[in-house]
Amino acid sequence: MLATGNPGRYLPRNEIQKALPVMLSLFRSFAQSPFALVIIVLLVLAFALYGVGGIFTGSGTAVVVAGNQQVSVRELAQAYDRELRNMQTENPGFTREQAQEMGLGEQVLQRLTIFAALEAKADELGIAVSGDTLVSEAARQPAFRNPVTDQFDYDTMVSALQRAGLTEEQFRADMEGELRRQQIVSTLGSGLQVPRIYAETRFDVTREQRRITALILDASTADEIPDPTDEDLASFIDNNRNMPDPRTGLPLFMAPEMRAITLVRFQLDDFVRDVEIDEDVLRETYDYQVETGQIGTPALRSFVQVTAPDAETAHTVAERLASGEAADAIATELGLGEPVELAEVEAYEVPDSSIADAVFAMDEGETRAVQGRFGWNAVQVTHAEAASMPSFEEQRPALQEEAARADALDALYEQIAQFEQERAGGATLEQAAASSGSPIEIFQPLDRYGRDRSLEIDMARYQALGAEILPAAFEQAQGFANDLTQFNETDYYALRVDEIVPAQPRPLEEVRVQAETRWRQIQLDSQLQARANDAQGQLAAGESLDIVALTAGGRAESTTVRRGETAPNFPRNVVSRAFGLEPGQWETVQAGEGRYAIISVEDILPANLATASPGEIATLRDTISQDAGDDVFVALQQALSREYQLGEGAIDRRLAAQALGESPTAAQ
């Protein structure tokens, strides 16, 4: 990862390799689909934002600069918004707040920074793409092929680019930048193959087995632990004030800082509930959506088309198609051109409107001779889907919601304006809320996670306040109301901190049960650890395992496992340590809470390379080669980061926060 706050992480090679060739490969892969051009539009625009040639030279202040390339505020904002919309398409309930929590904006910034660095390096290396290569690459795009001749066609290309919202110059620049960067990435990543001995060594390591013997000491063998006194618990708490609660990870014995707040919220959903929509408005909206094709699904046809020299031949071919003969065979026998097949297309996607009219009037399996604009053809419909249009009643709920939200938004802004006008005149939150008819909420002291003095998690309260409102409250001075602030997509709030309760130790009576439980666990662990150390000393001195088990109060167990495997009472960390021991050597390992294992390796059972199939070795070799390639790409990113000084200080966090719609103060 380049230029982020976590310099130890880097984008894996597969992410770079997936991102670089997507525009070209998806032109090829999806062009057969009736939705190809729509998808191509989205992909081309996405990669025009994510790093396709020349995009880092846009105007505007730079969030980060790599050599002679830069990532501007506009580019980062557009890339982030598009990434967010893509995720919302896949997960309709996904919100901007969730995107911020998962660090989506930082991921987009990382990606753009890496591509900027690659683009700068391509310039330095003088990597260029010839005009012939660009023409050849364009000719390979299925979207640029004439659907009748299946050959590259300039007019078809211009038409496809226009539908994609691109000019020839833009597409050329995009493709040139894409191919330049591919030369860097493919040169480093291609052809890397490790020697066979590497795969054989990994086979030996992964297939090796060890027979492990252990003395298990757990709570069932421990001496009784006396009850602690109040003094014991008080001392324990005092020495472990920040001990985490296993349920929440928050300090167990400390009451956190809390703040009591007065809050006024303007939430769109509250206004939607009170909106009534005129029936005539709904019907007008429905009619408009029908006329503009915003709802419903269009009719689709899949068909085969054979061009004929005259009407008689066209009728003959149609009759033979109807009898079940293959179009290819008929065309070859009669010396006709290669048949054209179109799959699941809409009427406007058929180049000849006369043929489109005929095809969309036919049913599945029907054949017909049709005179098109350029001559006679025989067509056979292989698949037919009728258009589907939801009725007004079916569409009513969506229409109602859309119209209600539009009217509710007007009402929300009107109430906000009245509220802010009152505040501008010197009114308090309570007075402004009363004058504008806005609800006011009063919260007793809460911590940053929405917990009250009970410290119990209230998920509903946390979801309503925790993402933005409570963090703001903990930055606000007591007794002062903040400015009206937006949260979520459409909602606003203003708050005042009424009381600040400092963090302080919790009374013993509140935490007695938790303190005693943790105190007993530590006492038990200390006792078992002392026994384990004594037992290990006896075993190392040559005492038999059975005798030591009797004196220490434990039990002897054994297992045979491979590296990375587990067994009862032999968790992963115990097995891992055993593979680092020499036979006969004893060592103590904590096998879990309240459990210790004193382990020794009885025997090492080496792998038998002769049992490995060629396929296994080949797979291992490919895996190691891939791992080595990933290391190369991490090294590349590290080198680019050093060369272009892309550390955290290279990022203008204020501009990054602006582009991502975050608080500049929080970003710092």
* 347-378 exposure pattern, b = at least 16 Cβ within 10 A, e = fewer: beebbbeebbebbbebeeebbbbbebeeebbb
CA distance 223 to 527: 8
C-alpha to C-alpha distance for 26 and 48, rounded to whole angstroms = 14
Element (H, E) at 604: strand 595-605
- Residues 1-6 have a mean pLDDT of 34
Average pLDDT over residues 28-36: 36
Smallest Cα–Cα separation from 115: which of 5, 31, 23?
Answer: 23
Quick one: average pLDDT of 171-177?
Answer: 78
Give the least confident one: 66-80, 168-182, 475-489.
Answer: 168-182
Q: What are the structure tokens assigned to 282, written together?
A: 């709904």
CA distance 247 to 241: 16
Average pLDDT over every residue of 504-523: 93
Summarize the confidence of residues 392-410 as an average pLDDT: 82
Cα–Cα distance for residue pair 375/327, rounded to 1 Å: 18
Question: Whole-angstrom Cα distance, residue 568 to residue 218?
Answer: 13
**To the nearest whole percent, how much of the chain has pLDDT over 90?**
46
Q: Is the pLDDT of residue 204 over 80?
A: yes
Q: What is the pLDDT of residue 641?
A: 87
What pLDDT does residue 663 have?
Answer: 58
Radius of gyration of the CA atoms of the chain, in A: 35
CA distances from 80 to 49, 119, 374, 660, 663 (A): 9, 20, 48, 7, 16
Supply the mean pLDDT for the chain: 83
Q: Residue 130 carries which side chain, given as an amino acid letter? A: S
Has residue 275 got a pLDDT over 80?
no
Mean local confidence (pLDDT), 158-163? 77
Q: Would the pLDDT of 77 be above 90?
A: no
Phi, psi of 491 (to 5 degrees): -105, 160
Instruction: Say which residues have a Cβ less than 8 Å from residue 54's Cβ, sequence separation at least 6.
Output: 173, 174, 176, 177
Q: How far is CA 407 from the centre of its chain?
A: 34
Per-residue pLDDT, averaged over 309-322, amounts to 94
Cβ contacts of residue 485 below 8 Å, gap of 6+?
468, 472, 492, 493, 494
Per-residue pLDDT of 516-548, as tens digits, reads: 999 999 999 999 999 999 999 999 999 999 999
pLDDT at 164: 59
DSSP 87-152: HHHHSTT--HHHHHHTTHHHHHHHHHHHHHHHHHHHHHHT----HHHHHHHHHT-GGGB-TTT-SB
Q: How far is CA 318 from the centre of its chain?
A: 51
Q: What is the DSSP track for 610-659?
A: GG--HHHHHHHHHHHHHHHHHHHHHHHHHHHHHHTT-SGGGS-HHHHHHH
Percent of the chain at pLDDT above 70? 88
Exposed / middle / buried, residue 634 (Cβ in 10 Å: 0-12, 13-18, 19+):
middle
pTM over 0.85: no
370-391 mean pLDDT: 91
Query: Residue 88 half-sphere exposure, CB side, CA atoms within 13 Å?
Result: 11
Q: Which residue has the higher pLDDT, 136 or 308?
A: 308
Residue 13 has pLDDT above 80, yes or no: no
Q: Residue by residue, what is the 3-state secondary structure of 459-518? A: HHHHHHHCCCHHHHHCCCCECCECCCEEECCCEEEEEEEEEEECCEECCHHHHHHHHHHH
Q: What is the pLDDT of residue 655?
A: 86
* DSSP assignments along 316-356, one per residue: HHHHHHHTT--HHHHHHHHTPPPPEEEEEE-GGGSS-HHHH
Domains of the chain: 13-191+627-667 (1.10.4030), 209-249+509-605 (no CATH), 257-270+408-502 (3.10.50), 300-385 (3.10.50)
Q: How many CA atoms lie within 13 A of 51 on its CB side?
A: 27
The residue assigned the tokens 């014995």 is: 253
- pLDDT of 245 > 80? The answer is yes
Q: Which of 102-106, 136-140, 220-224, 400-404 has the lowest mean pLDDT?
A: 400-404
3-state SS assignment for residue 11: coil
Tell me which of 133 and 357 has the higher pLDDT.
357
pLDDT score, position 557: 95
Give the C-alpha separation, 131 to 138, whole Å: 11
Largest CA distance in the chain: 108
Is 50 exceeded by the pLDDT of residue 286?
yes
Higher pLDDT, 175 or 258: 258
For the cut 70, the answer to whether the pLDDT of residue 648 exceeds it is yes
Decide which of 412 and 168 is more confident: 412
Is pLDDT at 384 greater than 80 in this prediction? Answer: yes
pLDDT bin (cut points 50, 70, 90) of residue 274 is low
Q: Does residue 226 carry a pLDDT above 70?
A: yes
Please report which confidence band the pLDDT of residue 605 belongs to, taking 50, 70 and 90 as the band edges.
very high
Contacts of 52 (CB under 8 A, 6+ apart): 23, 173, 174, 177, 178
Contact status, residue 122 vs residue 180, Cβ threshold 8 Å: yes
Q: What is the token pair recorded at 527?
A: 């006792």
